[in-house]
Structures are given as structure tokens and as C-alpha cells.
């Protein structure tokens, strides 16, 4: 994996970059939102965040886009304790401020950056989208920064280790320059807590906010955020999470959101295999896929993997599940394998048994070894099981071939 802060000189030389790179006098750091990491999920999250921020600014928050979110929290979810950043958040999201919102993007994928700039410019030509050359420039230009990266190594690089990383850039800000950082990456809890500590030591506020809902949820703005961090930081992040999702759950201190996400995805990974096995077994016993899916989804076997992400084409009516497009899109098998490994690492750390989790990890590992399947939705495990079953069927029976005459 190449580091996020690799050189993007071709972009720097392009007319498109220079067109959007320099902030105009109408922009202000306090009302500028940065987004680092424009993968499948990040791109859709950023597009929602930027678009809905503009709508909220234009309507003073009284638009069809709600600026409140459901927050389940062990503490007070009011607006106290956020200081200057709280005022900035309210100014950016909820009112027609003196300074309009502006936006900054940063990613190794030049096409993704140019696409989001083009989309935003076509829809909102009067608002700025700036392409930053590295994470430090995002920090210099933005008071609120969201990151959505592949995993732990990229987070360590972007935040700590790269020459133009986030934490050193925070340390260079003028005293009193408030910054909120929201990381939605699914990564190792210990790494996340170390990064959060260093971000806070550099004078910023940070929450971990991994998501559930997949690419479809990111596109629709219906994600659920599992959030970890101090209550003032949670309160501050809430308006921004609202623009990208439907629900935020405060799980506890830093790292708690990740703990919840890792447990959720481990359960999901096991469920998807069980649904694949059950759907295959039923068909081999003569059941039609739609009939079996109907039974499961009105019985105790019902779950997201059977009702929404059913792996069998034609099992669901009017389905847009990945199986209907040859398992393209959705949540990549390689990412599910990453999350299963995170669960196993966490289980070893706290000595908690993962019997089915370990088996599921081995299954996804075998699927991901096939390069053609690693980036397909993890429900493609059904196809792997189906091929294995068909191979078993075509094998000649062992033993005495004449004994059954």
C-alpha cells in the first residue's frame, strides 16, 4: 500500500489543481471542512458531508436535511464544554454565517479528487472545493477534518509518521486555533488510542467514529456511527456525523467506537457465511431461493445478511444486493478479512474465545487468496461454497463401484 502522502506532482501541474487549490478571500478556516481518504465509502461520505453542509448553510439549518441526529450516550449530549470549536461547528452547519463553508480533499487517487471537485462545482459553483497536496495542508486550511483510511498502517502514516502528517501540522498551528478530527477508519484499537492521545497533546479534539451501513448507506446518508471519545468532542462532532449518517452511538472513551465496530463486523462475517451455507443447502434439497429467503426473513434466521445482503441472485424481490451485479461494489472480502483479523487480535489481547470467528477468518482468507474475488463483496463466499459443492457432486464415488448393483 503506497502512503497517502505520496507525491502528486502531475496533479500539482494540472490546470484543474491550480483552479481549486488557492482559497479565495471568502473562505475561512473556521468554516472549512477537510476530508482525507476518498475510497468507496469515503467518497460517498464526503459528498454527503459537503452537499448537506451547503444546504444547511443556505437554509440556516431549516432545510429538508436534518441537522440533528440520534445520539445514544452515557453522558450529556448538550452543547456545553466545546468552547470556541462549538461556536464554529454551529456557525458552519446551522446558520447563514459570514463565511460560507468551504471544503478540502486529499487522497492518493487523483481521479477521485477531481471527480468530487467536478461534482461539487457543477452543483454548487459558488462554493469552493480545494485539492490539498498532503494532510498537513488539509490541517492548515480546515478546522474540521474527517479521515476514512484503509487500516492501521495508513492511519499511522497520515497522522504520525509521514513528513507532512497531521499531528506535526497541528503543532504548527497558531495557539488557540481550534481543530476537530473525526476518524472513521476501522483499525487496531491500540493504534487508534495512541493516535488520539497524540492529536490531543497537539491541541486538537478527536473522536473515533467507524461506521456501519456499507457503501449503499454512505451514499444514502443512512450510516450508523459508533463513536468513542470525550463527551465534549462527541458533542462537537455530532452535527458533522448527522450530515453523513442517521444515527450516532456514543460507546465510551477513545477506542470504544472501534471496539463496538470490531464486534459488529465479526458477527456480520460469521452471519454471512451461515446464510450462504443455509441458502446453498436449501437449494440442494430442492427449495427455490426466493421461497427459502422468504422463510428466513419471516423467521428466527432473519438477519441483515439474509434480508439485505442475500448472496443468491433472485432470492429477493427488487434487490440491489451485490450478488445481482456479480458481487461488485459492497464491502470487499479483503476488508472483511482485515476486520476478522482485528477481532482475533483483540480477542487474544483480552483472552476471549472466538471459535466461530476463527473459522470465519479462515474462510475469508481462502476466498481472498483468489485475486479475482478479494475486492468483490464478501457475500461472494456463497459462490465459493457453491463451486466446492458442485465439485464434490462430480467426484466419482469412492470404494467398491460394484457393491451397489
Positions marked active-site: 261
Instruction: Label each residue of 259-295 as H, E or C.
Output: HHHHHHHHHHHHHHHHHHHHHHHHHHCCCCHHHHHHH
Nearest to 56 by CA among 320, 239, 191: 239
Q: CA nearest 263: which of 344, 373, 376, 206?
A: 344
Please list, in sequence order, all residues whose beta carbon lies within 8 angstroms of the beta carbon of residue 238, skipping any fewer than 6 positions away. 69, 71, 77, 248
Helix H or strand E encompassing 155 = helix 152-156
- CA gap 389, 391 in Å, rounded: 5
Pairwise CA distance, residues 209 & 200, whole Å: 16
Phi/psi at 346 (5° precision): -65, -40
Separation of alpha carbons 345 and 350, rounded Å: 9
Question: What letters, b where the CB count within 10 A reaches 16 and e where it falls short, cover 258-270?
Answer: bbbbbebbbbbbb
Amino acid at each position: 500500500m503506497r502512503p497517502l502522502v505520496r507525491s502528486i506532482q502531475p496533479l500539482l501541474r494540472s490546470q484543474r489543481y491550480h483552479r481549486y487549490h488557492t482559497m479565495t478571500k471568502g473562505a475561512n478556516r473556521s468554516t472549512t471542512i477537510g476530508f482525507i481518504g476518498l475510497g468507496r465509502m469515503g467518497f460517498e461520505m464526503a459528498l454527503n458531508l459537503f452537499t448537506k453542509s451547503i444546504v444547511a448553510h443556505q437554509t440556516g439549518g431549516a432545510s429538508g436535511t436534518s441537522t440533528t441526529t440520534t445520539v445514544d450516550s452515557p453522558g450529556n449530549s448538550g452543547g456545553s464544554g466545546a468552547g470556541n470549536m462549538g461556536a464554529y461547528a454551529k456557525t458552519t452547519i446551522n446558520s447563514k454565517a459570514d463565511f460560507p463553508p468551504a471544503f478540502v480533499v486529499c487522497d492518493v487517487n487523483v481521479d477521485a479528487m477531481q471527480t468530487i471537485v467536478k461534482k461539487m462545482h457543477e452543483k454548487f459553483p459558488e462554493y469552493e472545493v480545494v485539492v490539498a497536496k498532503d494532510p498537513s495542508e488539509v490541517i492548515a486550511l480546515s478546522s474540521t477534518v474527517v479521515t476514512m483510511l484503509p487500516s492501521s498502517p495508513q492511519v499511522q502514516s497520515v497522522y504520525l509518521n509521514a513528513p507532512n502528517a497531521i499531528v506535526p501540522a497541528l503543532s504548527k498551528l497558531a495557539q488557540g486555533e481550534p481543530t476537530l478530527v473525526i476518524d472513521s477508519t476501522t483499525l487496531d484499537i491500540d493504534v487508534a488510542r495512541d493516535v488520539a492521545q497524540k492529536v490531543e497533546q497537539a491541541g486538537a479534539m478527536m473522536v473515533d467514529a467507524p461506521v456501519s451501513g456499507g457503501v449503499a448507506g454512505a451514499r444514502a446518508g443512512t450510516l450508523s456511527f459508533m463513536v468513542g471519545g470525550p463527551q465534549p468532542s462527541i458533542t462537537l462532532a455530532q452535527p458533522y456525523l448527522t450530515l453523513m449518517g442517521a444515527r450516532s452511538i456514543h460507546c465510551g472513551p477513545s477506542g470504544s467506537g472501534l471496539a463496538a465496530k470490531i464486534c459488529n463486523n465479526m458477527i456480520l462475517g460469521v452471519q454471512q457465511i451461515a446464510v450462504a451455507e443455509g441458502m446453498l443447502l436449501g437449494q440442494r434439497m430442492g427449495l427455490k431461493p426466493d421461497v427459502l429467503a422468504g422463510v428466513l426473513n419471516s423467521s428466527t434466521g432473519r438477519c441483515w445478511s439474509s434480508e439485505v445482503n442475500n448472496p443468491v441472485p433472485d432470492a429477493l424481490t427488487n434487490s440491489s444486493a451485490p450478488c445481482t451485479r456479480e458481487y461488485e461494489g459492497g464491502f470487499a472480502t479483503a476488508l472483511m478479512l482485515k476486520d476478522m483479523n482485528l477481532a482475533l487480535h483483540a480477542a487474544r489481547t483480552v483472552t476471549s474465545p472466538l471459535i466461530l470467528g476463527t473459522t470465519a477468518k479462515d474462510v475469508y482468507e481462502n476466498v481472498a487468496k483468489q485475486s479475482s474475488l478479494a475486492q468483490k463483496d464478501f457475500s461472494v463466499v456463497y459462490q465459493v461454497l457453491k463451486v466446492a459443492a458442485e465439485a464434490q457432486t462430480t467426484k466419482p464415488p469412492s470404494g467398491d463401484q460394484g457393491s451397489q448393483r
